Amino acid sequence: MNLKIKNALISLSDKENILSLLKILKKYNINIISSGGTYKYIKKLGYECSEISKYTGFKEMLDGRVKTLHPKIHAGILHDRQNKLHKIEMSKQKFPPIDLVVVNFYPFQKIVTNSKNIKNVIENIDIGGPTLVRAAAKNFKNVSIITNKNDYSILIKELKKNEGKTSLKFREFMSSKAFGLTAYYDSMIAHWFNKKLEIQFPERKTIFGRKFRNLRYGENPHQQSSIYVNDYNDRDIGFKQIHGKELSYNNYNDMFASLEVLGSIKGKAVTVIIKHANPCGISKDKNPINSFRNAYSCDPVSAFGGVIACNYKINKKIALEISKNFLEVILSNGFDNEALKILMKKKNLRIIDISKYKPKNNLLIKSFDGSFMIQNKDEIKITKKRIKCVTRLKPTKKEIDEIIFAYNICKYVKSNAIVLSNNFSTIGIGAGQPSRLDSCKIAVQKAKKFRPNKIRNSVAASDAFFPFADGVKTLIKSGVRIIVQPGGSMRDQEVIDEANKAKIKMLFTGTRHFNH
* DSSP-based three-state secondary structure for 147: coil
Q: Is the distance from CB of 363 to CB of 200 less than 8 angstroms? A: yes
Dihedral, 425, 431, 436, 442 alpha carbons, nearest 10: -70
CATH of domain 3-196: 3.40.50.1380
Cα–Cα distance measured from residue 184 to residue 203, given in angstroms and rounded to the nearest whole number: 18
Peptide bond into 348 cis (omega under 30): no
Confidence band (pLDDT; 50, 70, 90) for 189? Answer: very high
Cβ-based neighbours of 236, under 8 Å, separated by 6 or more: 212, 229
Q: Tell me, what's the pLDDT at 82?
A: 85
Q: CATH classification of 236-353 is 3.40.140.20, yes or no?
A: yes
Q: Is the distance from CB of 188 to CB of 210 less than 8 angstroms? A: no
The pTM assigned to this predicted structure is 0.88
**Nearest Cα residue to 165 out of 99, 224, 89, 251:** 99
Confirm whether 3-196 and 384-508 share one CATH topology: no
Q: Identify the bridge partners of residue 214 per DSSP, sorted by sequence position.
A: 226
Enzyme catalytic residues? 138, 276
Confidence band (pLDDT; 50, 70, 90) for 314? Answer: very high
Q: Tell me, what's the pLDDT at 55?
A: 85
Cα–Cα distance measured from residue 499 to residue 354, given in angstroms and rounded to the nearest whole number: 43
Main-chain phi, psi angles of 483, to 5 degrees: -125, 130
Cα–Cα distance measured from residue 352 to residue 337, given in angstroms and rounded to the nearest whole number: 14
**Nearest Cα residue to 477 out of 417, 437, 514, 507:** 437
* DSSP-based three-state secondary structure for 335: strand
Q: Tell me, what's the pLDDT at 66?
A: 77
Q: Is the distance from CB of 270 to CB of 291 less than 8 angstroms? A: yes
pLDDT tens sequence across 219-255: 999 999 999 999 888 888 889 999 999 999 999 999 9
Q: Quick one: CA dihedral 473, 477, 478, 479, positive or negative?
A: positive
Report the 3 state secondary structure along 479-495. CCCEEEECCCCCCHHHH
Helix, strand, coil fractions of the chain, as percent rounded to 5: 40, 20, 40
pLDDT tens sequence across 60-117: 767 777 777 888 888 899 998 888 898 888 888 888 999 999 999 888 888 888 878 8
**Mean pLDDT over residues 336-355, rounded?**
95
**What are the start-end ranges of the H helices in 28-165?**
36-44, 52-56, 71-78, 84-93, 108-114, 118-123, 128-138, 152-161
CATH of domain 384-508: 3.40.140.20
pLDDT tens sequence across 248-270: 999 999 999 999 999 999 888 99
Indicate the residue type of 516.
H
pLDDT at 57 over 80: no
Q: Tell me, what's the pLDDT at 279?
A: 96
**Mean pLDDT over residues 313-317, rounded?**
95
Q: Is the distance from CB of 32 to CB of 49 less than 8 angstroms? A: yes
Q: Tell me, what's the pLDDT at 503?
A: 96
Cα–Cα distance measured from residue 66 to residue 350, given in angstroms and rounded to the nearest whole number: 51
Q: Identify the bridge partners of residue 51 per DSSP, sorted by sequence position.
A: 34
Q: Tell me, what's the pLDDT at 121?
A: 87
Q: Is the distance from CB of 423 to CB of 434 less than 8 angstroms? A: no
Cα–Cα distance measured from residue 348 to residue 338, given in angstroms and rounded to the nearest whole number: 18
Q: Which helix (H) or strand (E) holds 442?
A: helix 436-450
Indicate the residue type of 410.
C
- Sheet with 278-285: strands ordered across: 240-243, 350-353, 327-332, 306-310, 269-275, 278-285
Cα–Cα distance measured from residue 412 to residue 257, given in angstroms and rounded to the nearest whole number: 8
**Mean pLDDT over residues 335-360, rounded?**
94
pLDDT tens sequence across 193-217: 999 999 989 999 999 999 999 999 9
Confidence band (pLDDT; 50, 70, 90) for 333? Answer: very high
The residue extents of the domains of the chain are 3-196, 236-353, 384-508
Taking all residues of the chain, what is their mean pLDDT, rounded to a whole number?
Answer: 92
Q: Is the distance from CB of 52 to CB of 33 less than 8 angstroms? A: yes
Length of the chain: 516
Q: Tell me, what's the pLDDT at 93?
A: 85
Dihedral, 427, 430, 436, 438 alpha carbons, nearest 10: -110
- In percent, the amount of the chain with pLDDT more than 90 equals 74
Dihedral, 168, 170, 173, 178 alpha carbons, nearest 10: -100
pLDDT tens sequence across 421-448: 999 999 999 999 999 999 999 999 999 9
